[in-house]
């Protein structure tokens, strides 16, 4: 069974990253379909107590938009065994909540930032929030939610020349940067394998400026990022080559959507409904059993490169990245 749980707390987002969501947004999930705070905590507890989950990452949509976030984190920090708790966020407004999140028991923050240039940020996200994001990331670091990892997606013709600049900035601020290959998970279905920026290109671009030494597979374990030491270390940079060098065989993730559906893969075409079972009165043992069955059905690989690959009907924002 997977030991790393990603919990989506909402499908809503305050940015409109072009690789994820159309500018006008999406039809959000109805409120009654979304798990309540207590339901989220109950399912996390079952995962921790009965399924061996050791790490819980809150995501979305944008998890900072979830009103009960701090309380959910605090309740999960009281679980036994206590899981490691982290948050994947675009960092808009994070500066206001970091202290409360740290006090509630959050361990780490993964921020998302694809460009350091205000005009590009607006073109990529359709919002003018770059300064807010930078302040949020700095606040997370200052509150000790470290290492602050930064996820960056490069898009052809938009920010594909910015890898070295992003790395220089991350090194300067003490963040751990990871580039993620763009995956076919956008609601608009605009992804194109032939034009996506590959890990190989990203590395070539970084190596034109930095001296990179690979950190061996032994250390990689189930982590999706392949890692390089920068300038001999200790600083590092990662590349998550989900498309060109998939790591499905080592994947140890299980995902819970905001409406309580278990997904055994980002690219799964099927889900298992825990919310319905829970609201029909299923006990913890039954919910755990259903969760295990859902994970046992996991495919060997995501199949993005297979000719018959079909993008999941849910976009990333509704799965939880
Ligand atoms: N809103 C939060 C954030 O921005 O981090 C959490 C959710 S977001 C879906 C999680 C991560 O998924 C972000 O780092 C984002 O860049 C990444 N992401 C979204 N769509 C993607 C895609 N099509 N390919 C690769 N990464 C993607």
In this predicted structure, the answer to whether residue 98 has a pLDDT above a threshold of 70 is: yes
Could you tell me the pLDDT band of residue 250, with boundaries at 50, 70 and 90? confident
pLDDT, averaged across the chain: 94
Task: Tell me the mean pLDDT in the region 286-309.
Answer: 88
Give the residue whose CA is nearest to atom 5 of ligand 1: 89
For the segment 211-228, what is each residue's pLDDT rounded down to a tens digit?
Answer: 999 997 655 666 678 999
For the segment 39-78, what is each residue's pLDDT rounded down to a tens digit?
Answer: 999 999 999 999 999 999 999 999 999 999 999 999 999 9
b/e code 46-84 from CB counts within 10 Å (16+ = b): bbbebbebebbbbbbbbbbbbeebbbbbbbbbebeeebe
On whether the CB atoms of residues 225 and 178 are closer than 8 A, the answer is yes
Whole-prediction pTM: 0.96
Confidence at residue 221, expressed as pLDDT on a 0 to 100 scale = 63
Confidence at residue 45, expressed as pLDDT on a 0 to 100 scale = 98
CB count within 10 Å of CB 87 equals 27
Dist. CA 178 → ligand 1 center (Å): 12
Nearest-atom index, ligand 1, CA of 181: 25
Nearest-atom index, ligand 1, CA of 110: 5
> Among the listed ranges 82-91, 141-150, 224-233, which one has the minimum average pLDDT value?
224-233
Dist. CA 182 → ligand 1 center (Å): 9
Dist. CA 157 → ligand 1 center (Å): 19
Domains and CATH numbers, the chain: 4-318 (3.20.20.70)
**Which run of H or E residues covers position 179?**
strand 176-180
16 is in an annotated binding site: no
For 180-244, what is the HEC assignment?
ECCCCCCCCCCCCCCCCCCHHHHHHHHHCCCCEEECCHHHHCCCCCEEEEECCCCCEEEEECCCC
Give the residue whose CA is nearest to atom 17 of ligand 1: 321
Confidence at residue 238, expressed as pLDDT on a 0 to 100 scale = 96
In this predicted structure, the answer to whether residue 276 has a pLDDT above a threshold of 80 is: yes
183 is in an annotated binding site: yes
Please give the order of strands across the beta sheet that includes 176-180: 212-214, 226-230, 236-240, 176-180, 149-153, 108-112, 84-89, 55-59, 4-8, 253-256, 261-263, 272-273
76 is in an annotated binding site: no
For the segment 150-179, what is each residue's pLDDT rounded down to a tens digit?
Answer: 999 999 999 999 999 999 999 999 999 999
Pocket residues for ligand 1 (CB within 6 Å)? 13, 19-20, 59-60, 62, 88-90, 112, 151, 153, 180, 182-183, 185-186, 316-317, 321
**In angstroms, what CA-CA distances link 46 with 50, 284, 288?**
5, 6, 6
Could you tell me the pLDDT band of residue 35, with boundaries at 50, 70 and 90? very high
Confidence at residue 222, expressed as pLDDT on a 0 to 100 scale = 66
Confidence at residue 33, expressed as pLDDT on a 0 to 100 scale = 97
């Amino acid at each position: 069974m997977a030991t790393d749980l990603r919990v989506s707390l909402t499908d809503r987002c305050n940015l409109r990253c072009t690789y994820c969501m159309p500018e006008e947004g999406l039809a959000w999930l109805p409120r009654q379909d979304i798990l309540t705070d207590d339901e989220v905590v109950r399912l996390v507890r079952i995962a921790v107590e009965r399924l061996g989950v050791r790490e819980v990452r809150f995501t979305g949509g944008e998890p900072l938009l979830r009103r009960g976030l701090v309380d959910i984190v605090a309740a999960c920090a009281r679980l036994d065994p206590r899981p490691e708790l982290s948050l994947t966020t675009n960092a808009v407004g994070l500066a206001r909540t970091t202290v409360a999140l740290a006090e509630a028991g959050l361990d780490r923050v993964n921020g998302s930032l694809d460009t350091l240039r205000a005009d590009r940020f607006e073109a990529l996200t359709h919002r003018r929030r770059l300064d807010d994001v930078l302040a949020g990331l700095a606040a997370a670091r200052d509150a000790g939610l470290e290492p602050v990892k930064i996820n960056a997606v490069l898009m052809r013709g938009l920010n594909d020349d910015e890898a070295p600049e992003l790395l220089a900035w991350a090194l300067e601020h003490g963040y751990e940067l990871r580039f993620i290959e763009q995956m076919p998970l956008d609601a608009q279905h605009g992804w194109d394998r032939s034009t996506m920026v590959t890990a190989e290109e990203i590395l070539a671009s970084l190596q034109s400026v930095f001296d990179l030494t690979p950190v061996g597979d032994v250390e990689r374990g189930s982590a999706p990022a392949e890692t390089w030491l920068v300038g001999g270390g200790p600083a590092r940079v990662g590349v998550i080559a989900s498309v060109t060098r998939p790591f499905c065989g080592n994947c140890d993730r299980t995902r819970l959507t905001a409406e309580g559906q278990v997904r055994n893969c980002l690219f799964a075409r099927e889900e298992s409904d825990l919310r319905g079972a829970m609201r029909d009165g299923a006990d913890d043992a039954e919910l755990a059993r259903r969760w295990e069955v859902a994970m046992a059905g996991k495919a060997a690989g995501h199949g993005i490169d297979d000719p018959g690959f079909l993008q999941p009907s849910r976009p990333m924002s509704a799965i939880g990245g």
